[in-house]
Amino acid sequence: MAELSFETLTFRTTKDELVITLLNICNTKIPKEEVEAIAPFTLSDNHTMVFDKIDQEKASTKFSFLLTKYFDSLKNILTGNKVTYIHRNSGIPLIGNVAFGIVYRGSSIIEIKPVTSCNLDCVYCSISEGLSSKKNDFIIEKEYLIEELEKLVKFIDEPVEIHIGVQGEPFLYSDMEGLIADLQAMENVRTISIDTNGTILNKDKIDRLAKNNKLQVNLSLDAINEEEARKIAGVKTYNVKHVKEVISYASQKLKVIVAPVLVQGFNDEELEEIIKFVKSLPVQPILGIQNFLRYKTGRNPGKEMSWEKFYSLLEELEKKHQIKLKLQKEDFNIKETKELSKPFKEGDIVKAVIKCPDRFPNSSIAVSGERSISIPNCQFKKDKKVSVKIARDKHNIFVGKLV
């Protein structure tokens, strides 16, 4: 008999299939007959498979083979989009891509991105993320992310902030609390900041998160009026009342920044209501209003407000409501740090191997040494060897063209 247990996987069976859910966000289906070909099996609990008449080692090897095969067809449970699982044995480095892994721009803020995907569909989303997204998603094994981050933090060798700023909602990553606890334990990590829409936080989760005294939570709140809030969030089920409760409770337990995005024509009237709400809380969080900016890859529902107009509006509101709204660079404590060398530069031609699809349709990610390279207009063909001309190398984020 063999017993295989997996913390990050949950199992259930249907008539013909074994359905495997990874980190609560994506799943894949294996025909039962292929699993039974290993040996007759049962599920002793959601995370454990028990195979009859086979030894542990054989069952483990054979089942790993099936997992590898069917993880190529992982699908996002929210959207049905394809998901790539990046783990220690995936052969995909965590530096090189702007959407997942580690982004280090030579400053004391390192961005980490363990997941892509969002449960909202905001009208102004700068990366067009959310329930209507058709992009490929990524999810990263927590241990792999921590291992690679530790190497970078050691290299930088001075206190840093880790910013969890994902293309989507970070708390969809079911290992998020564990990830934050691991970051909290890292000596040279001074601050951990996270951007969230707050929809899947609750009091219990906040109580657990509050054990990490380095954590700062940046919460979105774009309107107080329920209908306006739903319109901006792009989903009918968005519950601004819940998000307000989350903000109120979290502010009493953690450092919180409330971060509305001002989108002309959508929430101009709501700004003052947000200010009044923030001022009414038992512990007042910081309010950091952001100006909506148009992005090539974003949903662009309105016009940008000029910076001049934006800052004079903030000044006016500051005076009227006696509240600080203009946050300065010093508020974020950012400084330049050691440069990370680039293994190749713009114009170089490098040999690489295609490993997985990139975010957009008809684009792939190739790997060369310890970096990944995005290749637009490149059909995904797993393990194909290619030559790539590097077209962008800024901050160790690489984009290339097939040659």
- Which residues make up the interface to ligand SF4 (CB under 6 A)? 118, 120-122, 125, 129-130, 168-169, 197, 220
Q: 193: number of CA atoms within 13 Å, CB side?
A: 20
**Smallest gap from residue 221 Cβ to ligand SF4 (A):** 11
Q: Which is nearer to ligand SF4, 84 or 199 (CB)?
A: 199
Q: Which is nearer to ligand SF4, 59 or 219 (CB)?
A: 219
**Smallest gap from residue 118 Cβ to ligand SF4 (A):** 3
**Smallest gap from residue 235 Cβ to ligand SF4 (A):** 9
What secondary structure does DSSP assign to 132-179, as a single string?
A: T--S-EEEE-HHHHHHHHHHHHHHH-S-EEEEE--EE-GGGSTTHHHH
Q: Which is nearer to ligand SF4, 121 or 148 (CB)?
A: 121
Q: Is 371 helix (H, G, I), strand (E, B) or coil?
A: strand
Q: Judge whether 139 and 173 are in contact, CB under 8 Å.
A: yes
Q: Which is nearer to ligand SF4, 271 or 390 (CB)?
A: 271
Q: Which is nearer to ligand SF4, 198 or 400 (CB)?
A: 198
Distance from the first to the final alpha carbon of the chain? 52
Q: Which of 62, 73, 76 is nearest to 29 (CA)?
A: 73
Compute the distance between CA of residue 154 and CA of residue 159 in angstroms, rounded to an integer.
10
**Smallest gap from residue 129 Cβ to ligand SF4 (A):** 4
Helices (H) and strands (E) in the chain, counts: 9, 25
**Smallest gap from residue 391 Cβ to ligand SF4 (A):** 27
Q: Which of 164, 182, 184 is nearest to 172 (CA)?
A: 164
What secondary structure does DSSP assign to 202-249, as a single string?
A: -HHHHHHHTT-TTEEEEE----SSHHHHHHHHT-TT--HHHHHHHHHH
Q: Judge whether 225 and 272 are in contact, CB under 8 Å.
A: no
**Smallest gap from residue 230 Cβ to ligand SF4 (A):** 13
**Smallest gap from residue 24 Cβ to ligand SF4 (A):** 17
Q: Is 278 helix (H, G, I), strand (E, B) or coil?
A: helix
CB atoms within 10 A of CB 199: 22
Q: Which is nearer to ligand SF4, 207 or 226 (CB)?
A: 226
228 burial class (0-12, 13-18, 19+ CB within 10 angstroms)?
Answer: middle
Q: CA separation (Å) from 151 to 102, 138, 214, 369? A: 11, 22, 20, 16
Q: Which is nearer to ligand SF4, 114 or 130 (CB)?
A: 130
**Smallest gap from residue 195 Cβ to ligand SF4 (A):** 7
Q: Judge whether 305 and 292 are in contact, CB under 8 Å.
A: yes
Task: State the helix-helix crossing angle for 307-321 and 271-280, rounded to 10 degrees.
Answer: 40
* DSSP, res 73: T
**Smallest gap from residue 197 Cβ to ligand SF4 (A):** 4
Q: Which is nearer to ligand SF4, 234 or 400 (CB)?
A: 234
Q: Which is nearer to ligand SF4, 42 or 132 (CB)?
A: 132
